[in-house]
Chain A
Amino acid sequence: MSATAANDERRVGKLLVSTALVVISAGYCYWQKTREVPRAIVHIAATPGPVPAKAVTASGVAANVAAPAGKVATATAVPPAGAPATPDVALPVARAALADKVPVPKEAAAAVPDADESPAATAVTMAAGLHLEDGEYVSQHEDFEWGTVQVKVVIKNGAFADIQFLQMPDHRPHSAELSDLSKPILSREAIHDQKSAVDLVTSATYTSMAYQDAMADVIMQATRP
């Protein structure tokens, strides 16, 4: 075989293998898009169970855990009607439930009220002399490197009853992913423990800090002597 023919053959080979990779990749992308289940709504059960106080820390090690053994807070995913349960749905749920997969010391479990109690009922009393006025409060914009955090907090009977995230970092896909991961953990912790200084969520450290500031702002707005 002449050198030219060999070169031509190699050129065709290069073209074929590159085209094959492009076609396979395009097919896979198309399949991913068409089988895509709309993002599952991860929400906290109506009566949030106790949250491990430091379930997710910067080091990933649980400490000062406070949840009754066998009765952990649950996050449930509600796929849209007709959507099959797929790993796509299971993944965020598994992540949201990360906080629950921690060992629970017996003494901590004994100190925690029953998981079926409502948030208000399980509310930890605010610091002496500090009372929160019932109502809905919107925090300031807490800007940081990865975006902005802003929350709307509903206070009932002087306790945090509901927290909505008006703004969370979502400029980058990874920021949106981390926001989705941290939202249920942060709101659950604030509602159950009735505190603004929630523990930092691994991978979402900055977001957790901005959330702490937003919650502190809400407390300042709602505080009455």
Chain B
Amino acid sequence: MKMSVTLLRRILTYRLTLYYLAVLVAGSIALAWYGIVRPTPRDIAYSAVVAIATCIAVNAVFARVFGAKSNWESVCISALILTLIVTPAAPVDFAATGFLVFASAWAMASKYILATAKRHIFNPAAFGVALAGLLLKGSVSWWVGDNATILPLIILGGVLVLTRLRYYELIISFAVVVLGLTLADNPLAGAGTAVSMTAIHSAFCFFAFVMLTEPRTVPLGRWRQIVYGGLVGLLFFPNSHIGEYYFTPEVALLIGNIFAFLSNRRRLQRWTTAWGIKSRLLPTKAG
């Protein structure tokens, strides 16, 4: 056991996540082949190719212009996440393909445009789909969460990634808030069903294991991580809304990312310095 954990920790986090997502996409295609998962294998494979090609191309341009070192694993991870959350496009469906290309392009661009000190502020995939959902006709289905047959793969890989990252408090606070609110919002008789439906037939597990734990956007420190998980969980809960506006999972994550950014004094300081903003609220090292 100890040896396997040591072995696991020797694998780079990004590479492990990449393998995890590649297995999820391959597993989805295999299950779709037998009709167990609803999208067709052709559509899933086509979406994966489109997302990967777009992400690689846009990332290459931005990395060159911004003079940044590019991590190909990170690019492929974003592309595979997009494949798993945007409804797979049929090759003849130009609107759906356009949606995927748009989301992929902005996911990559956000890593360079919306970044401080060579660190992106927003989860790239979440930013891409949120912007595409806002500006284009269409929405994100988080289809991977609709298929309970993929859930064992999601949980197994997610536990491996979590063991590597050790964001236990983050996941627990997120789960407690989402499931607690689901319990509180349902009558006692139907509470069990509601919780199991949330845990099994929604994007809950994929979101928690893959999106929430993105190392570059998670705040530093245990308590900040607990608050971050709780905040995202609160907004992820289906009934969370402000007036007529209901939060979607990707918007919940983006708001969490803003919290993570604002809670990091050093990053905030670099950002204010870069924009020439002098803030008395942010004491310098000397002061």
Contacts and interface: CB of A to CB of B under 8 A. Distances in A.
B92 A87 contact: yes
A60 B244 contact: no
A36 interface: yes
B201 interface: yes
A10 B64 CA distance: 10
B24 to A, nearest CB: 17
Given A58-B148, A60-B36, A203-B143, A25 B113 contact: no
Contacts, number: 84
Contacts of A59: 36, 148-149
Contact of B65 (A17, A25, A172, A206): A17
Contacts of A60: 35-38, 147
B36 A61 contact: yes
Contact of B239 (A28, A58, A145, A174): A145
Interface residues of B, number: 47
A2 interface: no
B185 A145 contact: yes
Nearest to A29: B135
**A-side interface size class:** 20 to 34
Given A25-B105, A28-B98, A145-B239, A174 B201 contact: no
Interface in A79-122: 87-88, 91
Contacts of A145: 182, 185, 194, 238-239
Given A17-B62, A171-B241, A25 B93 contact: no
Contacts of B167: none
Contact of A32 (B62, B95, B113): B95
Interface string B61-76: 1100111000000000
Given A59-B149, A145-B194, 15 more contacts: A18-B113, A21-B58, A28-B136, A59-B148, A60-B37, A87-B93, A91-B95, A145-B239, A171-B244, A172-B246, A172-B248, A174-B139, A177-B141, A205-B197, A206-B197
